[in-house]
């Protein structure tokens, strides 16, 4: 392969449970070998790759048999803890056969809440890539429960793709992509514009047999990343040579075209803060109008705040609600909720959220 032919220099590849496991939920070594071989070829051509892999719980099912009386949370924790060892050892062995070193990174949703912790994670990933080491990432299911859980690894890999400023984000699923069900043709949709919404009309309800995710989640995350300037592909991970095909620019799967003006800097962190916020503020009609003006750089001032919900401190992510209580954005607070309540409605005060740390969703 010629490096000039490749579309991206840095990518996140997310592989789903149903791609790398067989019908019994056991790891499919043939598929895993083909996947790691493709990654090795791309890395040798200068592409930096972060692999986000599901499959720990599935691998755990092949190791331990648990009583039905065990709670669902405990069952998931035991399967994840035992299966993750098998999963990462399999990747490590296969990458070593290709002359590559891999590294394991396990994260929880709360790891993305704190800005400094977020930057520390980014430094870790950057250092591994600079040393030509393949980061293999998974959610730390052994300790992630309820509100600490990602929707699935699509959400986790989307956060990493945003954090690492990648050019391409590839979701390898067990289906070929998104299909046109609305018009009854059933044809594969090859490209989706960043302005497209309402993906549920193209999706058959249901989730993966062994995984937590579904196509609607994938589309929502793909759409958000395309809005932030990342090109996203949803393709069939069992298709021979699929990664090589996608990076050569060959037509395969569904491609979410990237918005031409990417979101950069701290706004990327803020943009993926849904579910991570510590509190909220409700703004008045004037503030909502000003904040929604895409032609001007505006910060959120206390004079535009009508009320405060919850408790937050300086540095926390908070949600911004409009007069109809719908979310209009997210931002990092420059001071806490107590001071905000004291200052709200007042003019000539320091912004609660500076423009550089403000992301408006519409």
Q: Which one, of 15, 33, 31, 34, lies nearest residue 23 by Cα?
A: 31
Assess whether pLDDT exceeds 90 at residue 350. Answer: yes
CATH 2.30.130.10 residue spans of the chain: 273-360
pLDDT, tens digit, for every residue of 91-108? Answer: 999 999 999 999 999 988
Model pLDDT, residue 103: 97
The residue ranking higher by pLDDT, 24 or 56, is 56
What fold does the segment set 273-360 form as a domain? 2.30.130
Q: What percent of the chain has pLDDT over 90?
A: 53
Number of alpha carbons in the 13 Å side-chain half-sphere of residue 244: 17
User: What are the DSSP calls for 266-317, one per residue?
Assistant: HHHHHHT-TTT-SEEEEE-HHHHHHHT-TTS---B-GGGEEEEEE---TT-E
Q: What does the buried/exposed string (b/e) look like for 229-239 if buried means 16 or more CB atoms within 10 Å of the residue's CB? A: bbbbbbbbbbe
Region 147-157: mean pLDDT is 72
CA 337/CA 316 separation, integer angstroms? 10
Assess whether pLDDT exceeds 90 at residue 150. Answer: no
CA distances from 23 to 19, 174, 205, 300 (A): 10, 12, 20, 52
Confidence of residue 253 (pLDDT cuts 50, 70, 90): very high
Please report, in range form, the residues annotated as the binding site for ATP.
14
Model pLDDT, residue 59: 87
Model pLDDT, residue 185: 63
Please report, in range form, the residues annotated as the binding site for substrate.
54, 141, 153
Region 267-294: mean pLDDT is 86
When mean pLDDT is compared across 34-43, 162-171, 269-278, 336-345, the lowest value belongs to 269-278
pLDDT, tens digit, for every residue of 14-50? Answer: 998 889 988 777 899 999 999 999 999 999 999 999 9
Instruction: Characterise 165 by phi-psi region: left (phi > 0), alpha (psi -120 to 50), beta (else).
Output: left
Q: Does domain 3-266 have CATH number 3.40.1160.10?
A: yes
The residue assigned the tokens 């496991």 is 21
Region 213-242: mean pLDDT is 86
The residue ranking higher by pLDDT, 147 or 113, is 113
Model pLDDT, residue 211: 43
Q: What is the pTM of this model?
A: 0.81
| Cβ atoms 165, 228 nearer than 8 A | no
Q: What percent of the chain has pLDDT over 70?
A: 88
Please report, in range form, the residues annotated as the binding site.
14, 54, 141, 153
The residue ranking higher by pLDDT, 52 or 271, is 52
Confidence of residue 1 (pLDDT cuts 50, 70, 90): low
Region 114-134: mean pLDDT is 92
Model pLDDT, residue 147: 53
CATH 3.40.1160.10 residue spans of the chain: 3-266
CA 158/CA 222 separation, integer angstroms? 8
Assess whether pLDDT exceeds 60 at residue 213. Answer: no
């Amino acid at each position: 392969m010629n490096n000039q032919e490749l579309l991206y220099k840095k990518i996140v590849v997310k592989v789903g449970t149903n791609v790398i496991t067989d019908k019994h939920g056991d790891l499919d070594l043939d598929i895993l070998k083909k996947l790691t071989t493709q990654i090795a070829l791309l890395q040798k051509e200068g592409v930096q790759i972060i692999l986000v892999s599901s499959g720990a719980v599935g691998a755990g099912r092949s190791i331990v048999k648990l009583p039905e009386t065990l709670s669902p949370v405990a069952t998931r924790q035991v399967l994840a803890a035992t299966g993750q060892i098998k999963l990462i050892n399999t990747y490590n062995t296969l990458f070593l056969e290709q002359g590559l070193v891999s590294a394991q990174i396990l994260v929880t949703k709360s790891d993305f809440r704190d800005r400094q912790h977020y930057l520390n994670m980014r430094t870790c990933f950057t250092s591994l890539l600079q040393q030509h080491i393949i980061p293999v990432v998974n959610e730390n299911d052994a300790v992630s429960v309820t509100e600490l859980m990602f929707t699935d690894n699509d959400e986790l890999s989307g956060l990493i793709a945003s954090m690492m400023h990648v050019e391409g984000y590839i979701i390898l699923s067990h289906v070929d992509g998104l299909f046109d069900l609305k018009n009854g043709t059933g044809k594969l949709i090859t490209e989706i514009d960043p302005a497209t919404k309402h993906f549920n009309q193209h999706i058959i309800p249901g989730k993966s047999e062994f995984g937590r995710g579904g196509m609607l989640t994938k589309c929502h995350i793909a759409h958000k990343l395309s809005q932030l300037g990342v090109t996203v592909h949803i393709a069939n991970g069992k298709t021979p040579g699929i990664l090589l095909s996608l990076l050569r620019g060959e037509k395969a799967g569904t491609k979410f075209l990237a918005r031409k003006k990417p979101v950069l800097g701290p706004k990327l962190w803020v943009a993926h803060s849904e579910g991570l916020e510590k509190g909220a503020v409700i703004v008045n009609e004037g503030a909502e109008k000003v904040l929604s003006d895409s032609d001007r750089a505006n910060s959120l001032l206390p004079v535009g705040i009508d009320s405060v919900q919850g408790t937050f401190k300086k540095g926390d992510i908070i949600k911004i609600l409009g007069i109809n209580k719908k979310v209009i954005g997210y931002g990092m607070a420059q001071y806490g909720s107590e001071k905000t309540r004291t200052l709200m409605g007042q003019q000539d005060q320091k912004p609660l959220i500076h423009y550089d740390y403000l992301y408006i969703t519409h």
